[in-house]
Chain A
Amino acid sequence: MTLLSGLLGNALLSGGVLALAGMGELLAERVGVLNLGVEGLMALGAVSAVITVASTHDAGLGVAASLAVGAIAGGVFAIATVLARASQVLCGMALTMGGLGLAATIGRPFAGQPSAATFRPMPIPLLDQMPVLGDALFRQSLPVYLAYLVLPLALHLLLFRTRHGLTLRAIGENPAACDAVGIRVLPLRFAYVVLGAALSASAGAYLTLGFVPSWSDGVTAGRGWIAVSLVIFAGYRPWRIVAGALLFGLVNALGYLAQARNWGVPSAFLSMLPYLVTLLFMIVPALLSRGRPGATAPAALGLPYYRDQR
Chain B
Amino acid sequence: MARTELLIRPLVQLSGITKSFYGVRANQSVDFSLAGGEIHALLGENGAGKSTLMNVLTGLYQPDSGCIAIEGHARRIDSPAAAIEAGIGMVHQHFKLVSAFTVAENIHLGWNETPFRAPAALLEARTAALSRRFGLAVRPSARVGEISAGEQQRVEILRVLARGARILILDEPTAVLTPPEVAILFAALRAFRAQGNAVILISHKLGEVLEIADRVTVMRAGRSIETCAAQGASRASLARLIMGDTSLPPMQESGRAVADDAAVRIELRGVTVRDHRGIALLDNVDLQVRAGEVLGVAGVAGNGQRALSEILTGNLRPDSGTVLLDGQAVAHPTPRRFARHGIGHIPEDRLRTALAADLSLAENAVLREYDRSPVARGPLFVPGRARALAVRIIDDAQLDRRDPSLPARNLSGGNQQRLVAQREARIADRVLVAAYPTRGLDIGAVASLHAAMHRLCARGIGVVLISEEIEELLDHADRIAVLFAGRIAGILPASDAESERLGLLMSGQALVPDAPDRDPGRAA
Contact = CB atoms under 8 A, between A and B. Distances in A.
A and B held together in a complex: yes
A163 interface: yes
Contacts, number: 83
B53 to A, nearest CB: 14
B21 A308 contact: yes
B80 to A, nearest CB: 4
B90 A173 contact: no
A166 B80 contact: no
Contact of B98 (A173, A293, A310): A173
A178 interface: yes
A163 B108 contact: yes
Given A161-B119, A166-B114, A174 B98 contact: yes
A181 interface: yes
Nearest to A164: B116
Interface residues of A, number: 28
Interface in A20-48: none
Give the one of A167, A169, A177, A181 with max B CB within 10 A.
A181
B117 A181 contact: no
A266 to B, nearest CB: 44
B92 interface: yes
A179 B114 contact: no
A292 B276 CA distance: 8
B81 interface: yes
Given A163-B116, A181-B84, A310-B409, A174 B110 contact: no
A68 to B, nearest CB: 29
A24 B61 CA distance: 34
Nearest to A293: B276
B110 A167 contact: yes
Interface range on chain B: under 10, 10 to 19, 20 to 34, or 35 or more? 20 to 34
Give the one of A173, A182, A293, A310 with max B CB within 10 A.
A182
A176 interface: yes
A184 B118 contact: no
Nearest to A165: B118
A167 B109 contact: yes
Contact of A170 (B83, B101, B115): B101
Nearest to A177: B96
A289 B82 CA distance: 45
Give the one of A164, A292, A310 with max B CB within 10 A.
A310
Nearest to A296: B100
Contacts of A165: 118
B189 interface: no
Contacts of B108: 163, 166
B79 interface: yes
B134 interface: no
A162 B108 CA distance: 11
Contacts of B424: none
A197 to B, nearest CB: 25
A170 B82 CA distance: 20
Interface in A215-266: none
Contacts of B60: 179-180, 307
A173 B276 CA distance: 22
Given A174-B96, A174-B97, A180 B80 contact: yes
B117 A162 contact: yes
Nearest to B105: A166
Contacts of B98: 170, 173-174, 177
Interface of A: 161-167, 169-170, 173-174, 176-184, 291-293, 296, 299, 307-308, 310
